[in-house]
Amino acid sequence: MSRKSAMDKVFAAMTEQLGAPNSAPQVPSPPRVRSGAIAAMGASLQQLTEIRDQVESGSAIVEIETDLIDGSFVSDRMADATDSSIDSLAESIRESGQQVPILVRPHPDQKDRYQVAFGHRRVKAAARLGIKVRAVVRNLTDQELVVAQGKENLDRRDLSFIEKAFFALHLETLKFDRTVIMQALSTDKADLSRYIAVARAIPEAIASAIGPAPKAGRARWIALSEALSGPAAKRAAEAAIAEVSFANLDTDSRFSQVLSAVTKKPSVGNSEPKARTISIGSGQKVAKVRQTGRDLKISIDQGFDTAFAAYLIEQLPSLAEAYASAQKDVK
């Protein structure tokens, strides 16, 4: 805003507040020569007014030391040690300067500090370079901050499905109304419910170990959340994460490894129960018996009389009746 525009704004406000339709015309007073101190103070006040108006309109950009800037009170992105994008961003800023300022607000609890609404990655890049970060400072409510945070992420570098899910869950935990969360994520009620359900089903420690996994997509994250419903699956996921090679994988490969671990079916050979051998008094083997759940399998030994199987089948009804009768007598 130019000085002339600022002065016009001040005079317009004075006219609105002090002017009246029936007031007598004001006779101009002869101009007074102000002292140097008074003139300097007036110029400073005018400059402050212009800066305030510029900051409120988002047009004033200031430079701030990165160690005076704290992150948002609610996390939206997951840390990923294998992500090299911060290094690339730092190199770009080193070569061409910071083209886009970040948005911060005065810290609500700590004097002379700031809190990021958006631009966390630019703060990290500037910190690596040891330079100040260019920023717009605005007085934002918590609601305005999270909406700005969500909108900027969607516009510049989209959050992955799981990042959106935990961002939504964190906001709900902080008691934000769902209409605000939907606005921050630019989503509808059905999708928001799905995000929160997935975030609740996947332990945050497991999700954080995996990272954002942008290529996994909604369907596979939902599949993982459903697979983690039992304690055995959670133990399988924790075992996969604990493997030495896990940390060296990129985030999408880590997701695939965890999903494979929790959806892997147990080997049939390992789960097959041992068979019990039935023999007669002479020691000759007659049959093998194997029980799996409610099923009982009897295999007649080929070395025994081949007609025994038919005989056994014929005798089964009478054996069953004799057993039932004996059970009645016991009762």
What does the pLDDT look like over 170-220, one tens digit per residue? 889 888 899 988 988 888 999 999 999 999 999 999 999 999 898 998 999
* DSSP-derived 3-state class of residue 163: helix
Rounded Cα gap, residues 61 and 137, in angstroms? 8
Backbone angles phi, psi at 250, to 5 degrees: -75, 165
Rounded Cα gap, residues 128 and 87, in angstroms? 9
Q: What share of the chain is helix, strand, coil (3-state, %, to 5)?
A: 55, 10, 30
Q: Which two tokens stand for residue 246?
A: 């896990």
292 strand-pairing partners? 295
Give the orientation angle of helix 85-96 with respect to helix 120-129, to 10 degrees: 70
Rounded Cα gap, residues 87 and 80, in angstroms? 13
Backbone angles phi, psi at 61, to 5 degrees: -115, 130
Rounded Cα gap, residues 149 and 144, in angstroms? 8
Task: Answer yes or no: is pLDDT of 105 > 60.
Answer: yes
Q: Whose CA is closest to 185, among 167, 197, 172?
A: 167
- Model-level pTM greater than 0.75? no
Which of 143-147, 254-258, 303-307, 312-316 is predicted with the least confidence, judged by mean pLDDT?
Answer: 303-307
